[in-house]
Chains A and B, each alone.
Chain A
Amino acid sequence: MISLRDKLKMVSTSSNVKKEEPAKPEREPLFMEESRVPLEMFDGIERVTLEEIRACEPAFTGNRWDLSELLFLDTETTGLSGGAGTLAFEIGTGFFEQGDFHVRQYVIRDYSQEREMLEAISALYKMHPTVITFNGKTFDLPLIESRCIMNGLRISFAACPQLDLLHICRRVFKLRLGRCNLSTLEQAVLGTEREDDLPGALVPQRFFDYLRTGEFALIRDVLRHNYDDVCSMPKLVAKVAAAFRAPETLVHPEDIYGVGRTLMRGGHVQEARQCYRILGRTTMAGSARMRLAESYKKERDWAETEKVCESMIREGQNGSWPYIELSKYYEHHVRDYEKADQMALRALNMMLNALPISEGAEHDKQQAELEGLYKRIRRIRKKSERQEQNGVL
């Protein structure tokens, strides 16, 4: 006969080898550590205004921006699956009090302390109700809400305004940086470099190992990693706000373009146009002009639309696009069919000159554009004929 244990071994798929482990030390209370960083370290976050924040994040619902109400928050978790069995074993917070930035980090020493930690976070949230995270909207905050439910607590982050820096940074820096993770942003935007940073993928195992061994040194690296994350957030806020305050000071045209698009989305049309105009002599000039023309078109300001299109044609930007726009303008608004026809023909010429792509989605798109153009030309000519007949009558 074999024992239940041996049988369990047989049906189990895991192949963990049992190791001799050191005896676990006496249980300690919930870990909490707080350090202060002087305000000067945060690139002028105290100058940031509510208007700038609203410009950065058009979806920001708050009607106040008060440094003392901000709560920066970042968690370290036991996995990424997002199910009920994943939890945050560490929660790092940052808030401004008495002129300093306080970084307060909690680590549970065992699972039974989770509730105590969540209650502490809940209390902090009451005092600092504007939560700022990096990807917290989809990850950290739902996770904390879920853990509260599991522990018989209720917390809702949706009740108060919040800011997710990932979304803001993506809009501004994605074009230039491609990836928008925190370490890329630190390097490229803040100009800082981490030393001996613990890769995020190793974080869960560190905690499991700590639980088994009681060796808190394993957690130290996680705390340092999380500390850096928390400190980077206010710096990013300051940097981004500054970018919106004075886009012309930005070095990279892609960033200015990103700021412009965000401003446009928030309805700050004049400021957005200003960004596009700054880009006039840069590598982003073509795209910027296109956005500029679109913004005038949307307001039915045909004179300005025409001007921008003409300047595109002068600079040879955006291929057939300005010709088609002008053709539309002449056809529908000026009703000068001769000019409309001319522009459409020039567009056709440009399109045919462009190297044809032989297959794939691009090819289909080209074909569709060509066909649309043919249709446009036929329609313009028909209208033109009719106009002539009417004129004769």
Chain B
Amino acid sequence: MNLDQLIGTLRADPEFMANVAHWETIPPKPAQYAPFPEGTDQKLIDVLRSRGIYQLYSHQREAIDLAAAGHDVCIVTPTASGKTMCYNLPVLTEIMKNPDARALYLFPTKALSADQVAELYELIEAMQIDIKTYTYDGDTPAAARRAVRQAGHIVVTNPDMLHSGILPHHTKWVKLFENLKYIVIDEIHVYRGVFGSNLGNVIRRLLRLCAFYGSNPQFICCSATIANPDVLAETLIGRPVSLVSESGAASGERHVIFYNPPVVNEQLSIRRSPLQESIMLASKMVDNNISTIVFAKSRISVEVITRHLKERVREPLGNAGKVRGYRGGYLPSLRREIERGLRAGTVRAVVSTNALELGIDIGQLDVCIMCGYPGTIASTWQEAGRAGRRKNTALTILVASSSALDQYIMTNPAYFFGHSPENALVHPDNLYVLMNHLKCAAYELPFRVGDKFGDGISTGELLDYLAEEHILQRTDDRYYWTAEEFPAADLSLRSVTSENFLIIDISNSSDVSTIANPKVIGEMDRFTAPMLLHEHAIYLHEGQQYQVEKLDFTEKKAYVRAVDVDYYTDADLNTSIKVIDVLKEQTLESASMAFGEIVVTWLVTMFKKFKLDTQESLGFGPVDLPELEMPTEACWWALEPSMTKGYSMDDLQGGMLGLANALREILPLYLMCSPHDLCVQYHVRDPFTQKPTIIVFDNYAGGIGLSEKVYGMKTLVFEDIASLISKCPCESGCPSCVGPQKEVGSAGKRIALELAEKLKQL
């Protein structure tokens, strides 16, 4: 069966259709073309023609015209719509006109830059012109670096390298800084949260140096579909941009199916596992040899689905290479191999975390299955964009879990299709982030009294502070760097990548002390490692189970051994919160609300074992690891005794847990952020407020402005929570509202609803 036939049989299958909550058919769209702009170099036009490109898409032309008119441009277009042309054409045109001109390309990862540069190389080579394009990153050999600095017309790099390898050594890049005409930032939607806040400051530093060297470069930014690409771009570069959002690329017919697994327990409103349903649906595709990508939300689900699908396609000789897993933690070489297989078509199905959301070139597939709502409209469209060639039909199936957010989407498809995707939030003025970059900037070039850093940030008090700390020295009207340290070295833009743990397979040795043929099979960031790599944890890698034998926290190494067991492990995370400063507060009638700064401490204390197929608990074990700390921002509601009067301690506990669970699900809809961006905690007796308290905090060091928004909404959110709980058909709690009764207790749902009703009236 081909895909069109398969879609036909699905439509005719009553069992399948019974679970379809919504079936959206998006009609095909023909391409909108525009001619090459006048004055485009004939060589360039000839080369493009020889590659079958006779004209531009309308959005490409629009972007090129805007750039030519001197605007900073932000282009937001779907996958595979030829966005690289939007920046390559203006850049090449400029350099051909003026061979001294320089351009800087920024991609979020090394892999992405390698992909995009390959395309640019081909173009330049075919044109037989002398435009030197170099990648400058950690892999660039020392001997080649000099040539890149001196002669590179187009320097391709990533924010991390720009931050620590280029800006602090700007005097070696005089040619680049003096002649910089274009700065291209691709995939800007990736730069949200801490990464984006850091990048915004790196750009401030970059522009400061450009001003010093007398250049005034233009920006061309590209983004996948998000609600606020222009706002994001403007925050990152600190200047207004012209937005190009109307894609002229053709697209085939697209089917989006919302699939809600059948209810297996009416009372508890428990549905069949989305994992099982995704496996069932993906198997249909794999059996028909239809190229498919399955997105799962956790590393564990990726491994479980991969294992099942591999069984499905295993040849008599045991080869199951047609199905591959893909996620962070796999080594780069393995990932490149899988990407190549996908492009070549030898890999027919790939199971991935959102690691493949990024623009890594894997060609286009036919079907996209999402095991659980990805959490945001933007991510959903990005993942869906992985399926669909230009003219062919594409199918996306969203398999819902029982969580409140997923169920909300299933019952409100209009929210999904009618709403614009989420905002990407960045907060470059976050004090924590700002101070770090101010130091780097001061190292790079002395500040003058009255200098601004970015738009509107006056530096006086901050610089005086650094002078007091003997990091800067003020002489006359300037602040000079006066320390031995190299500030960029201590600052990671991504906050997690710099301290990865290595995962080492020691299956071939008898114990850790005598390791024979150790093999590094993967890596993991330091915040996740305690959860998944504690001793005795079962770690899954490409479908193979490993048991962690030893976790060396100081050396950042986990030693694992291949095993074959019928259970998986799940660690318990203990979170504690210390309030540092209350910035805003207001007292309402029977509750008070505050916004402020906190320090969160995480500690993994124990893990549980669950049987693979039935998920039944098989016992637990202790974990002994150091705790991790993070300063951030939070918003909290403290309940006065008048509100909690009459509840027993247990009842109150259940009610607050229910309320916290519902908040966790609903808040992302309000804030248009990913559920991962926020954490919700509750204390029946909070050590700071001394009262029952519900706390929402930003899941990023220093905060990214989410909690402040929550504070600004007062108690508005409780209106929706009250309606969510009251409308839920379950008896006394289910995963779609306040959480299962087992967790919140028999009175949990009722009390949560009562509390929400009281809160919303304040």
Contact = CB atoms under 8 A, between A and B. Distances in A.
Contacts of A212: 470
Interface string A194-205: 000000000011
Interface residues of A, number: 33
Contact of B443 (A4, A85, A211): A85
Interface in A207-237: 208, 211-212
A83 interface: yes
B465 interface: yes
Contacts of B631: 10-11
B469 interface: yes
Interface in B539-581: 580-581
B455 interface: no
Contact of B486 (A11, A83, A142): A83
A146 B581 contact: no
Interface string B579-612: 0111100000000000001000000000000000
Interface in B450-468: 461-462, 465, 468
A313 B367 CA distance: 76
A16 B469 contact: yes
Contacts of B470: 16, 208, 212
Is chain A's interface secondary structure helix, strand, loop, or mixed overall? Answer: helix
A12 B435 contact: yes
Interface string B464-480: 01001111010110101
B484 interface: yes
Contact of A1 (B480, B482, B581): B581
A2 B581 contact: yes
A52 interface: no
A78 B482 CA distance: 8
A146 B473 contact: no
B168 A83 contact: yes
Contacts, number: 95
B204 to A, nearest CB: 16
Given A111-B480, A212-B470, A83 B475 contact: no
Nearest to B432: A11
B174 interface: yes
A337 B602 CA distance: 78
A1 B171 contact: no
Contacts of B762: none
A293 B19 CA distance: 87
A330 B445 CA distance: 68
Interface residues of B, number: 43
A211 B480 CA distance: 11
B446 interface: yes
B443 A82 contact: no
Of the listed residues B171, B471, B581, the one surrounded by the most CB atoms of chain A closer than 10 A to its CB is B171
B169 A5 contact: no
A84 B445 contact: yes
Given A146-B171, A146-B172, A208 B465 contact: no
B483 A83 contact: no
B633 to A, nearest CB: 12
B444 interface: yes
B170 interface: yes
A84 B170 contact: yes
Contacts of B443: 83-85
Contacts of B581: 1-2, 7
Contacts of B170: 84
A300 to B, nearest CB: 33
Interface string B139-176: 00000000000000000000000000000111110100
A112 B479 CA distance: 10
Contacts of A16: 469-470
A63 interface: no
Contact of B171 (A14, A111, A149): A149
B256 to A, nearest CB: 45
A208 B583 CA distance: 37
A172 B568 CA distance: 65
Nearest to B212: A150
Nearest to B489: A81
A205 B484 CA distance: 8
Contacts of B476: 112
B702 interface: yes
A266 interface: no
Contact of B168 (A10, A84, A211): A84
Contacts of A211: 473, 482
B15 interface: no
A358 interface: no
Nearest to B473: A211
Contacts of A11: 431-432, 435, 631, 702
Contacts of B171: 84, 145-146, 149-150
Interface in A99-129: 110-112
B122 interface: no
Interface of B: 168-172, 174, 431-432, 435, 442-446, 461-462, 465, 468-471, 473, 475-476, 478, 480-490, 580-583, 597, 631, 702
12 contacts: A7-B581, A10-B580, A79-B485, A81-B489, A82-B169, A84-B444, A85-B486, A111-B482, A112-B478, A146-B171, A211-B482, A212-B470
Given A11-B431, A111-B473, 9 more contacts: A2-B580, A2-B581, A11-B432, A13-B490, A14-B471, A83-B443, A84-B443, A85-B486, A111-B446
